[in-house]
């Protein structure tokens, strides 16, 4: 299976500062990949290079078998910019019809496309009267035109309410099932976790981690937090039994590595009636993300 | 290719209609043309030309100012507006060449300009012919004025696109457009006139001056229309020089300028990095 997008050793410098250094990645057909990174990590620059809007300093990029920005690549790639904007004097229908004609698509499907993103009711109103979420949906609608092979989505769910987000990811699932590759950037870590196949973390222009969430969790090897609540008066017994535990308000907090987790749980259960309650808190996606994005650069 | 150019043109016409640009352009041309034809129709008989030719001479002087202004007003926003709104990066990821985008805008803006010019000149001609059927003899001059006005408009549309690409900000592009209009249409002639007066019939007046007139699209337009019509003496400030320049020379300038300015615009747009 040939990949939709291949990038190797990509480097881009803006006036002395390295926006991207030695970035390599590949996207297979049907794969959904999330691109994470703090502001200025190089996400938008990477996307603009893939789209052919800016040229890299060095490295190879191949988009659907062509150079980025080449006419045959542009015909197969859809883009949703961060904070999609359109001419305020046009109606949603006119704007989508225009984009369909540029892609050589039959414009009779414009209304149906707007219905698909839930904008059918406002199709004949000017985009100037739309809310931010509605403009974002016009952006989504134009990214769906003409069955693209690669979708590059820059923070696609910003400005969408939770229900619209769910609908949006369902649309993406359908596209991916049809063989489209999806590269999306996001700050909403929890939704990305459930809805993508792979995560890429950029930090200071470097690719600091890539893999599935469980890969990253294993690689980060962050400790598990245990919160133990003691029955009255048994605090000191428990503290004695669990070296490293500290008292925080009424509970006892303890960190342990993934490997020691079961052994530690065993020791806690052995305390029997002295323990009133126990909470096990695995490292959150935010913790893993911070671990990788701070390891370099900051 | 044609489909993509027409798609852009359709969209631009929607935008111009909503922004009232069509209405403004048509109103400007109609009102000024009618005022001029009313003012210019009084002293006819003495000149020995038909009424319409006299009106055409007045309209030529009007169009030298108004057509470039309307063209620049429509075009200064073309690229800078897209950059400032943030719509350009998305547009450039579509399978459409940059020159096709520009060509689409040109088709739309030229169409609006044609509507405005035809409405303005048409109104002036209708009023004149209604008053004096003999004025029909001037229709040839009117037709010449119409198509040269369209070429003059296209020239300034191209200049507007080029300025818009170079400025990248709407306010900057607007300033450049107004400055260029003042320079080419108003100050250029004043400067030439001052130089001619100071030179007092020397080599500048006989050798350099005609070339400088031809180099300016607005002056070439005025020269061509005034020398082709018989009413040269009636309305031209620099009319004396018109006799020294053959009509084919000014016609060549009128025909080459749109190609030059649109070529410049395409080059400038290619350099815009979204």
* B213: Cβ contacts below 8 Å, ≥ 6 apart: B192, B219, B220, B223, B238, B241, B245
Indicate if the pLDDT at residue A255 is higher than 80. Answer: yes
Helices (H) and strands (E) in chain A, counts: 11, 13
pLDDT of residue A296: 52
Chain B CB within 8 Å of residue A86 CB:
yes
What Rg value do the Cα atoms of chain B yield, rounded?
20
Average pLDDT over residues A64-86: 89
pLDDT score for B232: 47
Asked if A51 reaches chain B (Cβ–Cβ under 8 Å), the answer is yes
Please give, rounded to a whole number of angstroms, the shortest distance from the CA of A203 to a CA of chain B.
24
pLDDT value of position A223: 85
Q: What is the mean pLDDT of residues A267-286?
A: 82
Full domain range(s) for residue A233: 223-282
Say yes or no: A277 and A189 in one domain: no
Helices within chain A (DSSP H only): 43-51, 71-74, 92-102, 110-116, 132-143, 162-177, 189-195, 213-220, 235-241, 261-270, 285-295
Test mutation, B94, B99, B104, chain A, max A CBs within 10 A: B94
Instruction: Indicate whether A188 pLDDT > 80.
Output: no
B-chain residue closest to A51, CA distance: B93
Q: How far apart are CA B259 and CA A89, in angstroms?
A: 30
In this structure, is residue A62 part of a structural domain? yes
Residue A199 lies in a domain: yes
pLDDT digits (tens, 9 = 90+) for A19-57: 888 888 888 998 999 998 888 788 888 999 999 888 888
Beta bridge partners of B251: none
ipTM of the modeled complex: 0.86
Strand partners, A12: A20
CATH number at residue A275: 3.30.70
Do B4 and A101 lie within an 8 Å CB cutoff? yes
Mean pLDDT of A150-170: 87
Q: Where in chain B are the domains? A: 2-270
Rounded CA-CA distance A232/A277 in Å is 12
| B34 CA: distance to closest CA in chain A (Å) | 31
Residue B234's pLDDT is 45
Contact B205, B232 (CB under 8 A): no
**Radius of gyration of chain A from Cα atoms?**
24
Domain shared by A84 and A67, yes or no: yes
Stated as kind and residue range, the H or E segment containing A211 is strand A206-211
Asked if residue A227 and residue A214 are part of one domain, the reply reads no
> Read out DSSP for A244-294?
T-EEETTEEEEEE-TTTHHHHHHHHHHTGGGEEEEEEEPPPHHHHHHHHHH
List of chain A residues whose C-beta atoms are within 8 Å of the C-beta of residue B92:
53
pLDDT in tens, B85-126: 889 999 999 999 999 999 999 999 999 999 999 999 999 999
Task: Report pLDDT for B233.
Answer: 47
pLDDT attached to residue A298: 44
> Counting one residue from A and one from B, how many pairs have CB atoms under 8 Å apart?
72
Structure confidence at residue B182 (pLDDT): 93
Residues A127 and A247 both lie in one domain: no
Say if residue A204 is in the same domain as residue A230.
no
Flag whether A293 is in a domain.
Answer: no
Query: Do residues B163 and B79 make contact, with C-beta atoms less than 8 angstroms apart?
Result: no
Among A165, A186, A218, residue at a domain's last position: A218
Q: What digits encode the pLDDT tens for the residues A206-237?
A: 888 888 888 888 888 888 888 888 887 777 77
Query: Taking CB atoms and an 8 Å limit, are A103 and B94 in contact across chains?
Result: yes
Distance from CA of A85 to the nearest CA of B (A): 6
Q: Same structural domain for residues A22 and A161?
A: yes
Does A98 contact B11 at a Cβ distance shorter than 8 Å? yes
> So what's the pLDDT on residue B21?
85
Question: A259 and A121: one domain?
Answer: no
Whether A117 is covered by a domain: the verdict is yes
CATH code, domain carrying A66: 3.40.50.300
The confidence score (pLDDT) of residue A126 equals 94
Mean pLDDT of A46-74: 89
- Is the same domain home to A107 and A237? no
The C-alpha of B65 sits at a distance from chain A's nearest C-alpha, in angstroms, of 29
The pTM (predicted TM-score) of the whole model is: 0.86
Q: Give the pLDDT of residue A295.
A: 58
What are B's interface residues with A at a Cβ cutoff of 8 A? 3-4, 6-8, 10-11, 14-15, 18-19, 85-87, 89-90, 92-97, 273-274
Rounded Cα distance, B117 and B127, in Å: 15
* pLDDT at residue B193, as a whole number: 83
Please report whether residue A295 resides in a domain. Answer: no
pLDDT, position B47 = 54
Q: What is the mean pLDDT of residues A58-79?
A: 89
Do A147 and A237 sit in the same domain of this protein?
no
Q: Which residues of chain B have pLDDT under 70?
A: 40-49, 228-244
Place of tokens 């549309």: B157
A139 in a structural domain: yes
The pLDDT score that the predictor gives to residue B42 is 57
Write out residues 91-120 of A within 8 Å (CB-CB) of B: 94-95, 98-99, 101-104
Of A283, A223, A217, A231, which is closest to residue A254 (Cα–Cα)? A223
Given a cut of 90, whether residue A117 has pLDDT beyond it is no
| Cross-strand pairs, A248 | A251
Regarding whether A125 and A203 lie in a shared domain, the answer is yes
How many domains is chain A partitioned into structurally? 2
CB A44 within 8 A of CB A154: yes
């Amino acid at each position: 299976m040939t990949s939709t997008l291949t990038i190797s050793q990509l480097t881009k410098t803006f006036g002395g500062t390295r926006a991207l250094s030695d970035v390599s990645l590949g996207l297979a057909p049907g794969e959904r990949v999330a691109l994470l990174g703090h502001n200025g990590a190089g996400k938008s620059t990477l996307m603009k290079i893939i789209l052919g809007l800016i040229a890299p300093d060095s490295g190879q990029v191949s988009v659907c078998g062509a150079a980025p920005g080449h006419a045959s690549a542009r015909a197969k790639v859809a883009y949703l910019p961060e904070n999609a904007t359109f001419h305020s004097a046009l109606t949603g229908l006119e704007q989508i019809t225009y984009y369909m004609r540029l892609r050589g698509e039959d414009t009779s499907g414009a209304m149906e496309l707007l219905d698909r993103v839930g904008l059918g009711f406002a199709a004949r109103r000017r985009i100037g009267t739309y809310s931010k979420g509605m403009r974002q949906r016009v952006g989504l609608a134009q990214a769906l035109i003409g069955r693209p092979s690669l979708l590059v989505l820059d923070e696609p769910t910003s400005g969408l309410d939770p229900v619209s987000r769910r609908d949006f990811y369902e649309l993406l699932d359908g596209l991916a099932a049809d063989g489209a590759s999806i590269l999306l950037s996001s700050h909403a870590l929890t939704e990305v976790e459930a809805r993508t196949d792979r995560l890429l973390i950029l930090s200071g222009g470097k690719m600091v981690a890539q893999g599935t969430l469980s890969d990253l969790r294993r690689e980060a090897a962050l400790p598990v937090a245990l919160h133990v609540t003691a029955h009255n008066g048994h605090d000191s017994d428990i503290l004695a039994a669990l070296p490293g535990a500290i008292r925080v308000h009424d509970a006892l907090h303890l960190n342990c590595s993934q490997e020691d987790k079961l052994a530690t749980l065993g020791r806690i259960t052995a305390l029997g009636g002295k323990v009133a309650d126990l909470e096990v808190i695995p490292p959150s996606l935010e913790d893993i993300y911070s671990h990788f994005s701070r390891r370099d650069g900051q | 290719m044609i489909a993509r150019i027409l798609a852009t043109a359709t969209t631009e016409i929607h935008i111009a209609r909503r922004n009232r640009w069509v209405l403004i352009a048509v109103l400007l041309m109609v009102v000024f043309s009618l005022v001029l034809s009313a003012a210019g129709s009084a002293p006819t008989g003495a000149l020995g030309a038909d009424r319409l030719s006299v009106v055409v001479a007045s309209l030529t002087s009007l169009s030298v100012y108004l057509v470039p202004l309307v063209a620049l007003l429509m075009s200064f926003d073309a690229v800078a507006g897209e950059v400032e709104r943030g719509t350009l990066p998305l547009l450039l990821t579509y399978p459409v060449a940059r020159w096709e985008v520009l060509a689409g805008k040109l088709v739309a803006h030229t169409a609006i300009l044609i509507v405005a010019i035809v409405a303005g000149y048409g109104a002036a001609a209708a009023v004149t012919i209604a008053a004096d059927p003999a004025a029909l003899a001037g229709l040839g001059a009117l037709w010449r004025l119409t198509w040269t006005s369209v070429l003059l408009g296209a020239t300034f549309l191209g200049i507007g696109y080029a300025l818009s690409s170079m400025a990248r900000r709407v306010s900057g592009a607007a300033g450049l457009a107004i400055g260029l209009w003042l320079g080419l249409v108003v100050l250029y002639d004043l400067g030439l006139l001052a130089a001619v007066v100071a030179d007092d019939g020397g080599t500048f007046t006989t050798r350099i001056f005609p070339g400088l007139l031809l180099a300016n699209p607005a002056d070439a337009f005025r020269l061509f229309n005034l020398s082709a019509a018989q009413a040269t003496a009636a309305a031209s400030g620099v009319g004396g020089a018109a006799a020294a320049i053959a009509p084919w020379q000014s016609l060549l300038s009128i025909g080459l300028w749109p190609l030059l300015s649109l070529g410049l615009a395409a080059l400038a747009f290619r350099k815009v990095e979204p």
